[in-house]
Chains A and B, each alone.
Chain A
Amino acid sequence: SQQGEEDPQALSIQEGENATMNCSYKTSINNLQWYRQNSGRGLVHLILIRSNEREKHSGRLRVTLDTSKKSSSLLITASRAADTASYFCATNSGGSNYKLTFGKGTLLTVNP
């Protein structure tokens, strides 16, 4: 079963604009991760935020986590055409097996 639900399902913006994607989940988590998938590079890990963290930055990426609302957001600033991809949130509910449960993803299109 899929825990995360990304919103919106699809997003189209112009190069240079910011893109915000949201993820909601159902059960308590140990951490939440964001992945990017495109045809050229497959599925790639972007950033991980732990349940006791509220915000994290990595380059042009900013992730927030609100455990009270069971939601997370991914912000990509100053988007580029190369950011065109599907973005997935994945939750880890703890335990020794580090199992990830992925959402359905947001398809981001950045127009040059």
Chain B
Amino acid sequence: EAGVAQSPRYKIIEKRQSVAFWCNPISGHATLYWYQQILGQGPKLLIQFQNNGVVDDSQLPKDRFSAERLKGVDSTLKIQPAKLEDSAVYLCASRGEARGNEQFFGPGTRLTVL
């Protein structure tokens, strides 16, 4: 099966600019996650969708981050405006019921904010 797709793979922006990331989960996976991974740390969950509804966004900095999954398939994560501390890899993952708790991760988008 095709894996989780993300784009772009790399993005460099200046602080206060806006940026958007795109994720296409594995076909049929109802649950989609966005994680932020700062260099030297483990992934931190930002937001979780079940189909097109938000299940958990408790760690999403809502003053500057937003995410949507309008049709329950693809998802976009936006940062507006970006800060230096947003430099990180943004990972998208999806999970299907058939494989239990296993999450499948995309390659990530490496964001550098200058």
Contacts and interface: CB of A to CB of B under 8 A. Distances in A.
A104 B42 contact: yes
B103 interface: yes
A48 B50 contact: no
Contacts of A2: 41-42, 44
| Size bracket, chain B contacts | 20 to 34
A112 interface: no
6 contacts: A4-B42, A42-B107, A43-B108, A45-B102, A88-B42, A102-B42
Interface residues of A, number: 21
Contact of B103 (A4, A45, A101, A104): A45
A42 B108 contact: yes
B101 A104 contact: no
A98 B107 contact: no
Given A42-B107, A92-B101, A99 B56 contact: yes
Interface of B: 31, 40-45, 48, 50, 55-56, 91, 93, 95, 100-108
Given A45-B103, A45-B104, A92-B101, A98 B31 contact: yes
Nearest to B3: A42
User: Would you call the interface of chain A mostly helix, strand, loop, or mixed?
Assistant: strand
Contact of B44 (A45, A48, A97, A102): A102
Interface in A69-99: 88, 90, 92, 97-99
B106 A99 contact: no
B82 to A, nearest CB: 23
B45 A44 contact: no
A65 to B, nearest CB: 14
A49 B43 CA distance: 20
B38 to A, nearest CB: 10
A107 to B, nearest CB: 9
8 closest A-B pairs (Cβ-Cβ)? A102-B42, A43-B105, A45-B102, A97-B55, A42-B107, A102-B43, A88-B42, A104-B42
